Amino acid sequence: MFKNNFLWGGATAANQFEGGYNLGGRGLATSDTKTNGSMNKKRKHSFLDSNGKIVYLHGSEKIPQAYQSVIDEKMYYPSHRAVDFYHRYEDDIALLAQMGFKCFRMSISWTRIYPRGNESSPNQAGLDFYDHIFDECLKYGIEPIVTLNHFDMPIYLADHQNGWLNRQTVEYFIQYCKTVFKYYRGKVKYWMTFNEINLLRGYDTLGVHEMTPARYYQALHHIFVASAKAVILGHKIDSNNQIGMMLANILTYSKTCNPRDVALELDVSRKLKYFYSDVQCRGYYPSYIVNSLKQQGITINSLEDDDNLLKNGCVDYIGFSYYNSGVVTTRKDAEMTLGNGIKMAANPYLKESEWKWPIDPIGLRISLNLLWDRYQKPLFIVENGLGANDQIAEDGKIHDEYRIDYLREHIIEMKKAVDEDGVELIGYTPWGCIDLVSAGTGEMKKRYGFIYVDMDDNGKGTLKRSCKESFYWYQKVIKSNGESLS
């Protein structure tokens, strides 16, 4: 049975949900130059080249440092309005309260607090905006769960100092953290530093224009240091703060019992996820990564105190996303599939979503046990859910029983991990509790929410909110503390 204070809720991110990209003194973020796309069409960023011509490049492509981000008025950028939480937060939070939410995971947009990222003082309008949101949540007894950095950064820092490749970005980030830790002291207790830290890549999230393995690991080191410093600072400002990491937990299976497959799975699971959680939970670089960097001829430039910072800045809990598992094999002719941006071999024992993500509820229980056994730190499932092309039926309702089935099966396995295995679990916040823009594809039709938003892939629609069948089902789940799942 879940504890009485178990945190049931839902999760969102500012650049997919908030909108108001140029309002209230907010500055441009890397997400704001990212166009829409689809399952078969990659999202791209718009830049001005050295000749003043607008070019569109995918975030993982090499982008010349001379290029500058630009917004093309002819293109659609989903983050600009998103689903307009900026203007609708009171009504949206009231709907979350109606469902019975105990918590709401959201992110603060860095550029709403420091528009360019390097100002000496914060933007008061931005501070006030989130203050109002937190007050609205607390009015209903909803605990804010706040991600400090969710897949973007100030464009100014990206274009003018190569983002996280520059050590100075650490200090700008810590200035931002210090501001929000102090301003929201007593209102926000649960924080996470970087969303899905193991999926940060390229211009989108690192602000690095021309990426190489050496540059990636250098930028990542700065992020590890920034996270550790944020944990130390957050505890100093308020000893009640609980500051966690956030991992994209993609469970990996060996395709066969061939020792070569098993050895490959070990290597993949370490480098895909455990490296990141090892550093943030144990406070040092694991030997398998130290040796790998040596073999690649990569040397990380660090400061004398960095080792102490990592050691003293370990997180209090592990927040993680779980959508799917994947299969690892040495066979070159294996059928492949895609889940959460990671290509792996297909699993014949599992069904897949419309977007070809394997559906593996038992894998959630396995993941909870693996993380608990490895770290013995409290766990928090901060993303889980089914992206589906929901349709309004002739009766005007959204019958998303497939989402109810998905969530029910995952909660059943979650309960087993708690009741039978003794895993310490803080809470559960399914992704996109109100429909929002997909981070991977920029689509709107890939919906996760309990609440439908009237908007299409091109941003057209009334933005009217409607409760799906899953809304009322999750309402019963929360009210019964996970006992009523029918």
Q: Residue 462 has what DSSP assignment? A: -
Helix (H, G, I), strand (E, B) or coil at 86: helix
Beta-carbon contacts of residue 207 (< 8 Å; ≥ 6 apart)? 30, 153, 157, 158, 159, 162, 163, 164, 165, 169
Where does residue 324 rank: exposed (0-12), middle (13-18), buried (19+ CB within 10 A)? buried
CB atoms under 10 Å from CB of 208, counted, come to: 26
Where does residue 453 rank: exposed (0-12), middle (13-18), buried (19+ CB within 10 A)? buried
**Per-residue CA distances from 348 to 210, 334, 358, 362 (Å):** 38, 11, 10, 15
| Residues labelled catalytic | 196, 383
CA atoms within 13 A on the CB side of 124: 0
| Angle subtended at Cα 360 by Cα 357 and Cα 364, rounded to the nearest 5 degrees | 120
- Both tokens of residue 163? 């983002």
Q: Which residue has the tokens 């892939």?
A: 457
- How far, in Å, CA of 155 to CA of 475, rounded? 40
CB 379 within 8 A of CB 244: no
What phi and psi values does residue 337 have, to the nearest 5 degrees?
-140, 175
CB atoms under 10 Å from CB of 52, counted, come to: 8
Number of residues in the chain:
486
| Angle subtended at Cα 410 by Cα 409 and Cα 412, rounded to the nearest 5 degrees | 65
What phi and psi values does residue 347 have, to the nearest 5 degrees?
-110, 110
| Angle subtended at Cα 177 by Cα 173 and Cα 180, rounded to the nearest 5 degrees | 140
Contacts 24+ apart (CB under 8 A), 265-270: 265/328, 268/328
Cα–Cα nearest to 190, from 151, 238, 136, 244:
244
In the chain, % helix, strand, coil (3-state, to 5) comes to: 40, 20, 45
- How far, in Å, CA of 374 to CA of 178, rounded? 31
